[in-house]
């Protein structure tokens, strides 16, 4: 099928390449010329495992083409809208200006019976508003909402083999036609038995923010327990293992530490609260304010812990921060807890050196005031304290003896509960972690 994908960021580039891999002919459109040049050459414009290989396959086979010109979407049967919905700079709510601009431009190129499919994460009510925009421009076109659940770091795998597909469609014949066409788009995952939920627009929009709210709540729940463990002398990693064995709870997303960041969970729970307030149902999700507050406190606690192990002498202390990305296997630094902690320590006068296997360029663009070092051993040299803030595998694999020969003080703060305490203490390190003795 001929398909267009509008917005080629962390979501759209992966979606476009994956649809091409599934055998469709895909044209991608983005307003960022640098992004389009990279993609046209079969290169990922950001780091995402497996994406470079996939892109070089689908661009060289001609299944994926890219353009900065929206006119390139003409003739596609389905148009996926994957542009950003960041938090508004002046508040908590989502900035819908990119979605509105993309749809306004797209509808000028729509042909008879084509389907516009929203994938961006939006406040409930947006789909109906956009459906009216589509209908006004092209009465025989249909809008569907198909939220995306991919995780960065696993984006290709999650797109080709999703946990579920959700279609929000109108409850009429046009909705049935859109469902049939989407089934054709996703024929391959559906044939693997991926569950498909067909519902209305508001439910499809709410499914997305409900899922992210649940995940954020799970992380903040375990981090609240970490706060308790810290004052009561408990160990949150053991606690998580113990409650996680209960299948009703499950161990996934119970990793206590520095908390959640990234371009999704933090902004999505804030936008959800803002939208619920507008709808007069703010009380229903007021708890998300506490989820957010617990999450933010973890960053403050990490800075305090660093100050504590440095004997209150933060100013002038050499601090090595391992990790700048918001999670491993990504170069994304949007709302990165690691980068936030690094910046706060630098503000307090520490001499902070940041290392990350993939995110240094993005981190430098956002926090130019910090020092960056691409060589891991050089980054560790002379450190008074080492802070592990993003649990990349190469940090998990560090040899405490070897690292001990590089640093000035054998002091390690494990912000992700990712290392073996005994391995590091046996090598003479002072090991401290959030939520553990």
Ligand X SMILES: O=c1ccn([C@@H]2O[C@H](COP(=O)(O)OP(=O)(O)O[C@H]3O[C@H](CO)[C@@H](O)[C@H](O)[C@H]3O)[C@@H](O)[C@H]2O)c(=O)[nH]1
Ligand Y SMILES: NC(=O)c1ccc[n+]([C@@H]2O[C@H](COP(=O)([O-])OP(=O)(O)OC[C@H]3O[C@@H](n4cnc5c(N)ncnc54)[C@H](O)[C@@H]3O)[C@@H](O)[C@H]2O)c1
List residues with catalytic annotation.
Answer: 264
Contact 213, 272 (CB under 8 A): yes
- Comparison of 148 and 384: residue with beta carbon closer to ligand X: 148
- 203 burial via Cβ count (<10 Å: 0-12, 13-18, 19+): middle
Name 112's Cβ contacts closer than 8 Å, sequence gap at least 6: 138, 140, 141
For the beta sheet containing 411-414, the strands, ordered from the edge strand earlier in sequence to the opposite edge, are 371-372, 351-355, 318-322, 385-388, 411-414, 430-433
Stretch that binds ligand Y, among 82-90, 173-181, 185-193, 425-433 (CB under 6 A): 82-90
User: According to the binding rule CB under 6 A, does residue 264 interact with ligand X?
Assistant: yes
The response to whether 151 counts as a known ligand-binding position is yes
The response to whether 412 counts as a known ligand-binding position is no
* Near ligand Y by CB under 6 A: residue from 3, 5, 8, 388: 8
Alpha-helical runs (H) found in 123-263: 126-137, 155-160, 173-185, 187-191, 201-232, 236-244
What is the contact mask toward ligand Y in residues 20 to 59, using x (rule: CB under 6 A)?
---------xxxx--x------------------------
The response to whether 255 counts as a known ligand-binding position is yes
**Residue closest to 115 by CA, chosen among 152, 77, 86, 145:** 77
Q: In angstroms, rounded to a whole number, what is the distance separating the alpha carbons of residues 131 and 129?
A: 5
In this chain, which residue has its C-beta nearest to ligand Y? 9
Alpha-helical runs (H) found in 89-186: 97-107, 126-137, 155-160, 173-185
What is the contact mask toward ligand Y in residues 251 to 290, using x (rule: CB under 6 A)?
------------xx--------------------------
User: According to the binding rule CB under 6 A, does residue 364 interact with ligand X?
Assistant: no
What is the contact mask toward ligand X in residues 299 to 338, using x (rule: CB under 6 A)?
---------------------------xx-----------
Q: In angstroms, rounded to a whole number, what is the distance separating the alpha carbons of residues 434 and 30?
A: 41
Tokens of 68: 């900065």
User: According to the binding rule CB under 6 A, does residue 169 interact with ligand Y?
Assistant: no
How many residues bind ligand Y, per CB under 6 A? 26
Name 361's Cβ contacts closer than 8 Å, sequence gap at least 6: 331
Query: For 423, phi and psi rounded to 5 degrees?
Result: -60, -40
Sign of the torsion angle spanned by Cα atoms 369, 375, 376, 382: negative
The response to whether 96 counts as a known ligand-binding position is no
Stretch that binds ligand X, among 75-83, 169-177, 253-261, 340-348 (CB under 6 A): 253-261
* Near ligand Y by CB under 6 A: residue from 101, 279, 281, 293: 101
- Comparison of 82 and 276: residue with beta carbon closer to ligand X: 82
Name 263's Cβ contacts closer than 8 Å, sequence gap at least 6: 10, 84, 86, 326, 332, 334, 335
Which partner from the list ligand X, ligand Y, none does 261 bind, CB cut-off 5 to 8 Å by kind? ligand X
Name 407's Cβ contacts closer than 8 Å, sequence gap at least 6: 320, 380, 381, 382, 383, 384, 386
Q: In angstroms, rounded to a whole number, what is the distance separating the alpha carbons of residues 331 and 51?
A: 13
- Comparison of 205 and 255: residue with beta carbon closer to ligand Y: 205
Which partner from the list ligand Y, ligand X, none does 35 bind, CB cut-off 5 to 8 Å by kind? ligand Y
Stretch that binds ligand X, among 123-131, 177-185, 186-194, 247-255 (CB under 6 A): 247-255
Q: Are strands 318-322 and 351-355 parallel, antiparallel or unpaired?
A: parallel
Element (H, E) at 321: strand 318-322
Q: Least separation, in Å, of the C-beta of 253 and ligand Y? A: 16
User: According to the binding rule CB under 6 A, does residue 47 interact with ligand X?
Assistant: no
Q: Least separation, in Å, of the C-beta of 295 and ligand Y? A: 17
CA distance readout (Å), 379 to 68, 200, 347, 376, 387: 40, 52, 19, 5, 12
In this chain, which residue has its C-beta nearest to ligand X? 264
The response to whether 301 counts as a known ligand-binding position is no
The four Cα atoms 356, 361, 366, 368 give a dihedral, to 10 degrees, of: 90
User: According to the binding rule CB under 6 A, does residue 98 interact with ligand Y?
Assistant: yes
User: According to the binding rule CB under 6 A, does residue 6 interact with ligand Y?
Assistant: yes
* Near ligand X by CB under 6 A: residue from 12, 259, 357, 415: 259
What is the contact mask toward ligand X in residues 102 to 141, using x (rule: CB under 6 A)?
-------------------x--------------------
Q: In angstroms, rounded to a whole number, what is the distance separating the alpha carbons of residues 330 and 68?
A: 25
Q: Which residues are annotated as a binding site for substrate?
A: 149-152, 208, 253-257, 261, 327
Binding residues, by number, are 30, 35, 85, 121, 149-152, 208, 253-257, 261, 267, 327, 334
The annotated binding site for NAD(+) is made up of 30, 35, 85, 121, 152, 267, 334
Q: Which residues bind ligand X (CB under 6 A)?
A: 121, 148-152, 212, 215, 219, 253-255, 257, 259-262, 264-265, 326-327
Contacting residues toward ligand Y, per CB under 6 A: 6-12, 29-32, 35, 82-85, 98, 101-102, 120-121, 148, 150, 152, 263-264
């Amino acid at each position: 099928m001929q398909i267009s994908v509008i917005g080629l960021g962390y979501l759209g580039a992966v979606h476009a390449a994956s649809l091409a891999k599934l055998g469709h002919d895909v044209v991608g459109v983005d307003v960022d010329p640098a992004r389009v040049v990279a993609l046209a050459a079969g290169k990922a414009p950001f780091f995402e495992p497996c994406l470079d290989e996939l892109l070089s396959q689908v661009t060289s086979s001609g299944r994926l083409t890219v353009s900065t010109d929206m006119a390139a979407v003409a003739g596609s049967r389905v148009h996926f809208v994957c542009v950003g919905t960041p938090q508004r700079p002046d508040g908590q709510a989502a900035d819908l200006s990119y979605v509105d601009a993309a749809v306004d431009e797209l509808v000028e190129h729509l042909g008879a019976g084509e389907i516009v499919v929203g994938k961006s994460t939006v406040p409930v009510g947006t789909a109906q508003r956009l459906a009216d925009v589509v209908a006004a421009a092209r009465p025989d076109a249909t809008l569907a909402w198909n939220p995306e659940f991919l995780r960065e770091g696993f984006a290709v795998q999650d797109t080709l083999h999703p946990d579920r597909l959700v279609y929000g469609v109108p409850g009429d014949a046009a909705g049935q036609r859109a469902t049939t066409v989407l089934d054709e788009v996703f024929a391959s995952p559906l044939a693997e038995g991926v569950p498909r939920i067909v519902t209305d627009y508001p439910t499809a929009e709410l499914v997305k923010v409900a899922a992210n709210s649940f995940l954020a709540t799970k992380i903040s729940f375990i981090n609240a327990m970490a706060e308790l463990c810290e004052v009561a002398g408990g160990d949150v990693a053991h606690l998580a293992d113990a409650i996680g064995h209960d299948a009703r709870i499950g161990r996934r997303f119970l990793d206590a530490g520095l908390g959640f960041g990234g371009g999704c969970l933090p902004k999505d729970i804030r936008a959800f609260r803002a939208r619920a307030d507008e709808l007069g149902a703010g009380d229903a999700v007021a708890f998300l304010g506490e989820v957010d507050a617990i999450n933010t406190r973890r960053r403050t606690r990490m800075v305090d812990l660093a100050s504590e192990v440095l004997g209150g002498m933060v100013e002038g202390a050499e601090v090595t921060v391992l990790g700048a990305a918001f999670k491993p296997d990504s170069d994304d630094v949007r709302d990165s807890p690691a980068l936030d902690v690094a910046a706060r320590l630098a503000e307090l006068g520490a001499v902070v050196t940041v290392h990350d296997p993939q995110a240094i360029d993005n981190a430098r663009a956002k926090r130019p005031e910090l020092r960056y070092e691409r060589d891991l051993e050089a980054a560790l040299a002379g450190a008074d304290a080492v802070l592990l803030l993003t649990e990349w595998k190469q940090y998990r694999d560090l040899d405490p003896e070897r690292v001990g020969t590089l640093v000035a003080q054998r002091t390690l703060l494990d912000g992700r509960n990712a290392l073996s305490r005994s391995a590091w203490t046996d090598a003479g390190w002072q090991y401290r972690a959030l939520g553990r003795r």
